[in-house]
Amino acid sequence: MNAATRFALLYSAQFVAVGITLPFLPAVLTARGMSPQEVGVLLATASAVRLVAGPLGGRLADALGDARLVLAVGAGLATLVASGLLLPAGFLLLLLVMALHSAAFAPVVPLTDALAVTASRGADGQRTGGFDYARVRAAGSIAFMLAAIACGQAVALFGIDAAVWLLIAGLGATSLAALALPPVVPRAGRVVSRGWAGFFAPLRIPAMRRLMLVSALIQGSHAMYYGFGTLHWQAAGLGAGLIGGLWAVGVLAEIALFLWGRGLVARLGPVGLSVVAALAGVLRWAVTAVTVDPLFLFPAQALHAGTFAMQHLAMMAVLGRVVPPAEAGTAQTLHAALGVGLWMGLLALASGPLYAAFGGTGFWFMAGLCALAVPASLWLAAALRR
């Protein structure tokens, strides 16, 4: 089994878990007797823990010089902790379960990205023996979509506990797939960073800091969509099937870019990808703000290939270029926490009052964030030229 296949299996397994958690975890918590307010506290606690635990896990991986071990152990612990969701637990026990699960799983996806980017470049850093990262990452997006669909059917047939069992299976498979990854062969001159002194070392790289700003603006602009897109369309009278189709178009467009956009990605380069992603965000959220006509919404949703996928690939390209391999785990987890997770959470909090006050026109604020990302991307280009 070659390296690309092993990484594709790992992405598939972990995004099965993500594809179950995002749509169904609130329903699991509600089924355990939690009120809407308690569910909100549990989810907010999980998010806060991820912001801290992710970078700590990344730094541990770099300090040990073995990200595979941290990946496998983290997914394994998350598997064990997730079984606590099957217990007839009260709020305090569920709070502990959510905190421990988030701490264990937080570094898994960014560490996978760090390892995959390194492996995709091959032993000599020039793709000799490597693979196309985007095509391998597409396996995760496909698994996410299929897992959400399959879990919905399983819950309809067997009840909400089916979601927990499938989550446990996905997490367990992630741990096993991590153990099957090929070993990372240190390149000549590579120095494995030991200890904790270099925790913030990636943040001293100007391009890293500017990339985090660009990601915060573009990826953070999805916050209102994730939190209130469905509610907005329901209030406008769109049916559940149509809304599901709108979400599916976004994921399919993302998959299409990962699978077949290699030539376009190469031509644009990381800065070009960020600029196009920002412009796509301006158009996407502007359309969402002004109309609920499906004839316009479906093309706007296809722009998810720009707003999410292009910026994701831009981020991978920049980090792969400017961050030393010995700090890759730390950089990926710091970016995931401080460049995306923190701002996604803050913008999600801001989206509630925005939507309450302005309804769908609040998406203009998200379009404005993407407009700001254009000059931020050009600022990033200046750092990359140094």
Contact 117, 316 (CB under 8 A): yes
pLDDT score, position 188: 47
How far is it, in rounded angstroms, from Cα 300 to Cα 307? Answer: 11
Contact 261, 253 (CB under 8 A): no
Confidence band for 184, pLDDT divided at 50, 70 and 90: low
Res 114 pLDDT > 90: yes
Q: Which residue do the tokens 């995760």 mark?
A: 140
Q: CA-CA distances (angstroms) from residue 312 to 160, 199, 316?
A: 32, 23, 6
Confidence band for 123, pLDDT divided at 50, 70 and 90: low
Residue 30: CB partners within 8 Å, gap ≥ 6?
Answer: 36, 39
Mean pLDDT for the stretch of residues 135-153: 93
pTM for the whole structure = 0.90
- Positive or negative: CA dihedral 299, 301, 304, 305: negative
Q: Which residue do the tokens 């412009």 mark?
A: 279
Q: Model confidence over 315-357: pLDDT tens digits?
A: 999 999 999 888 999 999 999 999 999 999 899 889 889 998 9
Q: Model confidence over 227-240: pLDDT tens digits?
A: 889 889 988 999 87
Mean pLDDT for the stretch of residues 200-219: 94
pLDDT score, position 197: 56
Contact 50, 101 (CB under 8 A): no
Residue 173: CB partners within 8 Å, gap ≥ 6?
Answer: 13, 16
Dig out the tokens for 113 from the structure: 């990205």
pLDDT score, position 336: 94
Element (H, E) at 378: helix 363-384
Q: Share the mean pLDDT of the chain.
A: 90
pLDDT score, position 198: 65
Confidence band for 108, pLDDT divided at 50, 70 and 90: very high
How far is it, in rounded angstroms, from Cα 370 to Cα 380? Answer: 15
How far is it, in rounded angstroms, from Cα 103 to Cα 50? Answer: 6
Contact 238, 232 (CB under 8 A): no
Q: Model confidence over 259-310: pLDDT tens digits?
A: 999 999 999 999 999 999 999 999 999 999 999 999 999 999 999 999 999 9
pLDDT score, position 302: 97
Domains of the chain plus CATH, in order, are 1-182 (1.20.1250.20), 202-386 (1.20.1250.20)
Q: Cβ–Cβ contacts within 10 Å for residue 155, how many?
A: 19
Res 119 pLDDT > 60: yes
How far is it, in rounded angstroms, from Cα 324 to Cα 27? Answer: 42
Res 199 pLDDT > 80: no
pLDDT score, position 126: 53
DSSP 3-state of 122: strand
User: Residue 202 has what DSSP assignment?
Assistant: G
Question: Which candidate, 297, 250, 333, 279, places its Cα nearest to that of 54?
Answer: 333
How far is it, in rounded angstroms, from Cα 259 to Cα 135? Answer: 5
User: Residue 339 has what DSSP assignment?
Assistant: I
Mean pLDDT for the stretch of residues 251-256: 95
How far is it, in rounded angstroms, from Cα 76 to Cα 114? Answer: 19
